[in-house]
Structure 1
Amino acid sequence: MSVRWSILVIPVDEPGAKPWLEQSPDQVCKTASVGKLLLLAEVARRIDTGELTADHRVTKDGARFVRDSGLWRVLDQADLTVVDACRLVGAVSDNLATNVLLDLVGLDAVAAYGDSTGAGAMELLDYVRGEARDLSIPGTPPTLSRASAASLVAYVRRLYDGAVSPRVEEWMSLSTDLSMVASAFAEDPLAHNTIGDEGHPALINKTGTDDGIRADVGLVRRSGRAVAYAAIANWPTDESAPGLAAVMDRMHRIGAEIRDRLAQG
């Protein structure tokens, strides 16, 4: 099976630390929902600066409706605070909440935020669509988001250093998808946002899943250490199911190596 990997694992609590793992860290790949991190950061920035209030209400009425990941689409509640919408994105990668938040701030603003970080190739290119992308239509982005492992780790490093609002860390700590790299840390997917080292959650992450795409980016705090990781796999969608099993197996092994090295101190 032909899989393109972009991987980087590196301590962020130690200036000049060498990577624990890396493979083509600068290779740009499709990352599915991982690009929503840029949207969350832009919303958080606006709340922190007072451009937007945390209790501002947004509605799903008239929004681009998507059936895939998320809960809001099946809830009776038509409107939410902007912070609750962000919590849904962090917890279940809520597609409807994503589109509502994009209606609020705009794709151009998210792109400008991404450019301002200097993190490198990390982009949210589009709204979440409920239908296949018709690339024959001019201007249609080829994918929802794309990034390299290096750019994702740079984003996590900025979060660790405080250059990205701590609100994003809170929202990421709610993630219920611990199926990839994060599976190694034996956390409860539904209740793991407890406070660990230095008053921060012990594990935060964001995943991206689509046909031929698996991606996981996160920050693990254990034993006084803080390690950022990003692992992205892209492969042809005509490959058979055993290909996905091999990708997930490697994701688990990456997580296990991080866990074991942290245990060694």
Structure 2
Amino acid sequence: MDWDKEIHVLATKFAPFIESGIYIHDGTQKLASRNEEELFPATSIIKLPIYLYYYEQAIQGNLDLMHKIKVSKTGRANGSGVLHILTSIEEWSIEELLQLMIAVSDNEATNRLIYYAGLESIQTWIKTKKWGKRIALRRYLMDYESGLVNEISPRGALEILKEIIELGNKHPTVKDQIEKPFLLQQFRTGLPGYLDERAIPNLEMLNKTGEDNGIRHDVGLFRYKDQTVFIAALNKDVKEEAKAIEWMEELGKLVFEFLTEETD
């Protein structure tokens, strides 16, 4: 597949509707990119480094994922997720909050996890990473009054997801646990949108979306037989949401076509 040509065609087609950034990697080398280092408003993609932080700490023995965290009934962050609805339950394990943060993109779960670890502690940890300059965690979710914006680049987003998957591969006893919320992701209208795992044997798609006004992101891993492709697709200044979704679906279809070519 001529990735540069395909990416250029899509960029031209959708340029009137979105500003985009792409980074595509097969686990060994870069396949294609566009604006890979540009920082975009992160929206819920910022949940990826928080997820990695907690699993690293747990594997290192620094925390217990079964530990219960108190979540007050009042003042819960709204937006995506379920905790602002399930207010009768006030204690959740760290593991449950992590699963909710990814599978249903729960904002309150994310804020509880940031608060429990400490915003500054996570920020300091981010600086130790090779992708540290490609991400900026500055505030809690839904804290628009702060005037701060969390940011991430396409390359940074992909590198974080890749490190999450690699962590599971290095520690097989928690591999399924780490990957579970990505495989059970509730938001599949982006990169996986044209594909149906139930109808395509040997295909697995793991992804995490992010969205806000004028912003639509998706970061994912496609596995087919023994081949893998990671892809980060970020966009902003979205003028038509349907076009942004179509752009991501087209990218996901290209990834699957590439995987099937490689395995034929």
Q: Which runs of 5+ in 2 are unaligned?
A: 1-15
**SS where residue 209 of structure 1 aligns?**
strand
Within the candidate set 185, 189, 201, 1:179 is matched to 189
**Structure 1 residue 64: deviation in Å?**
4.7
Q: Is the 8 A contact 2:17 2:243 kept in 1?
A: no
- Deviations for 1:160-219, whole angstroms, at most 9, x for unmatched residues? 43389745433333311111012133147xxxxxxx68xxxx221111010011111111
Q: Which residue of 2 aligns with 1:137?
A: none
Q: Which residue of 2 aligns with 1:123?
A: 136
Relative to structure 2, which stretch is displaced further, 59-68 or 72-81?
Answer: 59-68
Measure the CA separation in 1 of the matches of 2:66 and 2:98.
Answer: 12
* Pairing 1:150–2:155 present: yes
Within the candidate set 54, 65, 78, 1:67 is matched to 78
Relative to structure 2, which stretch is displaced further, 164-173 or 153-162?
Answer: 164-173
* Pairing 1:255–2:256 present: no
**Structure 1 residue 244: deviation in Å?**
1.6
**Structure 1 residue 141: deviation in Å?**
4.5
Q: Which runs of 5+ in 1 are unaligned?
A: 135-139, 189-195
Relative to structure 2, which stretch is displaced further, 207-216 or 70-79?
Answer: 70-79
Measure the CA separation in 2 of the matches of 1:11 and 1:63.
Answer: 44
**Structure 1 residue 18: deviation in Å?**
4.1
Relative to structure 2, which stretch is displaced further, 81-90 or 117-126?
Answer: 117-126
* Pairing 1:77–2:83 present: no
Measure the CA separation in 2 of the matches of 1:38 and 1:118.
Answer: 12
> TM-score, structure 1 length as denominator?
0.81
Q: Name the % identity.
A: 21
Q: Letter of the 2:24 partner, please give it.
A: V
Within the candidate set 217, 220, 235, 2:219 is matched to 217
Q: Is the 8 A contact 2:66 2:94 kept in 1?
A: yes
Q: Is the 8 A contact 1:99 1:127 kept in 2?
A: yes
Q: Is the 8 A contact 1:38 1:113 kept in 2?
A: no
Measure the CA separation in 2 of the matches of 1:176 and 1:123.
Answer: 26
Distance 1:170 1:63, change over 3 A: farther
**SS where residue 72 of structure 1 aligns?**
coil
**SS where residue 193 of structure 2 aligns?**
helix
Within the candidate set 203, 206, 209, 1:207 is matched to 209
More helix by share: 2
* Pairing 1:55–2:66 present: yes
Q: Which residue of 2 aligns with 1:5?
A: 20
> TM-score, structure 2 length as denominator?
0.82
Measure the CA separation in 1 of the matches of 2:179 and 2:124.
Answer: 21
Q: Which residue of 2 aligns with 1:170?
A: 180
- Deviations for 1:53-91, whole angstroms, at most 9, x for unmatched residues? 121001211675222111122122211111011111111
Measure the CA separation in 2 of the matches of 1:159 and 1:67.
Answer: 27
**SS where residue 156 of structure 2 aligns?**
helix
Measure the CA separation in 2 of the matches of 1:8 and 1:99.
Answer: 28
Measure the CA separation in 2 of the matches of 1:52 and 1:63.
Answer: 26
Q: Is the 8 A contact 2:139 2:148 kept in 1?
A: no
**SS where residue 232 of structure 1 aligns?**
strand
Measure the CA separation in 2 of the matches of 1:90 and 1:115.
Answer: 22
Q: Is the 8 A contact 2:76 2:83 kept in 1?
A: no
Q: Which runs of 4+ in 1 moved over 3 A?
A: 163-168
**Structure 1 residue 151: deviation in Å?**
1.1
Q: Letter of the 1:254 partner, please give it.
A: L
Measure the CA separation in 1 of the matches of 2:62 and 2:183.
Answer: 24
* Pairing 1:36–2:47 present: yes
Measure the CA separation in 2 of the matches of 1:108 and 1:171.
Answer: 26
Measure the CA separation in 2 of the matches of 1:175 and 1:124.
Answer: 23
